[in-house]
Every structure is written in structure tokens, then in C-alpha cells.
Amino acid sequence: MRIKRMFIAILLISVSSMLSAQLTYGTTGLLHAPSAEMQKDKTVMLGGNFMNKEITPPTWYYHTYNYFLNVTILPWMEVAYTCTLFKAEALGLKPYGYSGFTNQDRYFSIRLRALKEGQFWRYMPAVVFGTSDPFTSSGGGSIGSTEGNGYYSRFYAAATKHISIGKEEIGVHLSYLYNKRKEYKLNG
């Protein structure tokens, strides 16, 4: 019994040292805001999140989950595939015998680094252009639609500069989000 407790304690300590910040969209960024930081070349990330109802679209009145696959293919390009779970009740499927999470919103994201931090001069920030969920197939299909299932649709430009202060480093981030969907204020 004592060995089992020690094993669990060691496992929890080792796992907690590997945890990092939650990536709401499955892409590198600051929880819900994009940044110009990029993962190292040839990085593959698999992950999942609990998503509080306050960070989901307003028509989603429940907590949900998502999972993602993120690949940094080249030093300047990151691609992600994200799936967010729907509840059947929100889709009006309860009368047909469905309940719980029965569907998912799937979308791709891409981030392209235009400028690397310090590329041309010392104080130059990194600059990234990106999009999440740019295309919706519902309603005939369109890019950046105000209707359909493009719940997480957004386009953005982000700049990041790291400043060394003694032995520490501070990251300063600035981003502009654009989105045609007005009902979801956290998304641009």
C-alpha cells in the first residue's frame, strides 16, 4: 500500500512539471487571445480542454470539452485541427432519443509567422497572421460567415516582443481580431 502511494505521488509530481497553459483553440497563444509565439519546428501537440460556458458562444448554455491536434510543420507555419463537443439538447435532438454530447464542431486553424522576433533589428517583435474556423459548410458554404456553424471563426494579426529584465523575461503581446459574428464578443 505504501509503495502504491509513493508511486502515485511520484507520478503526480512528474506530470505536473510537464503541464502547460490551456490552449483554448488548440493553437499557440494566450488562452483565448492569439500571440506571435510559435512552437519549435516539427512539434506535434495533442490536447484537450474543459471549456467553461462563459468562453463558449452564447447559444451554448453548458460547459463543454474540446480536443485538438496541432502540428508546426515548418518554423513559420502551424496548423491545428480542433473538435468541440455539442450537446444533443442544444441541437434539438432530445425528442429523437439523443442526449449528452452527440455531435462536434470541427475546424482547422493556421498560423503563419511573417517576421521572427529580432529578425532585422534588436527591438523588432515577432508578427503572426492567422485564422481559426475560416470556412463553414452549412448554408451553402462561405468564408468568415455570420451564419452557420463557424462558431470559432476569426482572423487575426498578432505581435509579440520579449523583454529581458535581469534573469527574468516578460512577454508583451498585441493582437487584432476580426470576426463577422457579432453574438460572440470574446472572438473578435
- pLDDT at position 18 is 47
- Low-confidence residues of the chain: pLDDT under 50: 17-21
Which pLDDT score, from 0 to 100, does residue 90 have? Answer: 63
Among 12, 5, 72, 11, smallest CA distance to 41 is for: 72
For the entire predicted model, the pTM comes to 0.73
Q: SS3 for 80?
A: strand
CB-based contact 23:29 (threshold 8 Å): yes
Amino acid 87: pLDDT = 76
Q: Domain-by-domain residue ranges, the chain?
A: 26-187
pLDDT of residue 159: 95
> Are 28 and 111 a contacting pair, CB within 8 Å?
yes
